[in-house]
Amino acid sequence: MFRDRQEAGQMLAFELAKLTLQDPIVMALPRGGVPVAVEVAKTLQTRLDLILVRKVGAPGNPELAVAAIVDGDPPDVVLNREIVETYGLGDDALRARIAKERPELARLRMAYRGGEAPLPVDGKTVIIVDDGAATGTTMKAAIRALKRRSPRKIIAALPVSPPDTATELAQEADLVICLSQPARFRALSYYYMSFPQLTDRDVLDAMNMVAQSGPVAGSGNGKQPGARSARARREADTKE
């Protein structure tokens, strides 16, 4: 059991620091992955960015993903073909469900980035970080989308997940670092002594804190992913 997300991030960072990583960059899955990733980026002294993923739910079952939209230029759509076929979704129906989720992805992009582009990952060792995974759907979507952007290597880094999820992720990523793989997986919160629900404000505060600490989170153009415009800050606040 982890004390909190910060401790989980420090423990992940300890394991990752044992590896020889060429030109690493840390990508956090918000919201819960951000405080974990902050600790990883600080320890590895590398850049930190967000990878925004919006799940596209199945008809009548929004928690079951038929697809996911991953933010980028342009955004990537990753299909869960088995679920699409199970629900018999045609192209038009699928496009309609994807289109319905695009505004929320755009809102997150503006709230978290203020319109700035994500850091490039081509030729980088990308470490995707979350606070845990039950089914791994979001992590899989992120991995598949990033593969299209020519990274050197992709590492999935998680404090906890079921063994079968870790195995599935290992088929997607070049390497999976998962600290705990309980056979009888419970709700993710069970594995943390402190596991508060995070808000957009928490994500922004964490990214701004890293940005203000110096070049660790810096992008190539000198801008920081967490440093947003005042307008973006106000828009995010109104959504809380």
Q: Give me the mean pLDDT over the 69-96 stretch.
A: 90
Q: Report the DSSP beta bridge partners of residue 5.
A: none
For the segment 144-170, what is each residue's pLDDT rounded down to a tens digit?
A: 999 999 999 999 999 999 999 999 999
Same-fold call for 5-51+114-238 versus 54-113:
no
What are the residue ranges spanned by the domains of the chain? 5-51+114-238, 54-113
DSSP character string of 57-114: EETTEEEEEEEEEE-SSSPEEEE-HHHHHHTT--HHHHHHHHHHHHHHHHHHHHHHHT
CA of 173: how far to CAs of 140, 166, 225, 229, in Å? 8, 10, 24, 34
On whether the 54-113 domain is CATH 3.40.50, my answer is: no
Residue 197 binned pLDDT confidence (cut-offs 50, 70, 90): very high
Higher pLDDT, 169 or 239: 169
pTM of the model: 0.85
Cα 88 → chain centroid: 29
Nearest 5°: CA angle at 131, between 81 and 205?
115
Distance CA(53)–CA(30), nearest Å, equals 8
Distance CA(86)–CA(154), nearest Å, equals 30
Distance CA(7)–CA(4), nearest Å, equals 5
DSSP character string of 102-120: HHHHHHHHHHHHTTPPPPP
Q: Indicate the residue type of 91.
A: D
Distance CA(151)–CA(125), nearest Å, equals 6
% the chain with pLDDT above 90: 73
For the segment 89-139, what is each residue's pLDDT rounded down to a tens digit?
A: 999 999 999 999 999 999 999 999 887 888 999 999 999 999 999 888 899
Q: Which residue bears the tokens 């929320």? A: 104
**CATH number assigned to the domain with residue range 5-51+114-238, chosen from the 4 options 3.40.50.2020, 3.30.450.40, 3.40.50.300, 3.40.640.10:** 3.40.50.2020
Q: Strand, helix or coil at 225?
A: coil
And the tokens for 169? 């992720």
For the segment 10-28, what is each residue's pLDDT rounded down to a tens digit?
A: 999 999 999 999 999 999 9
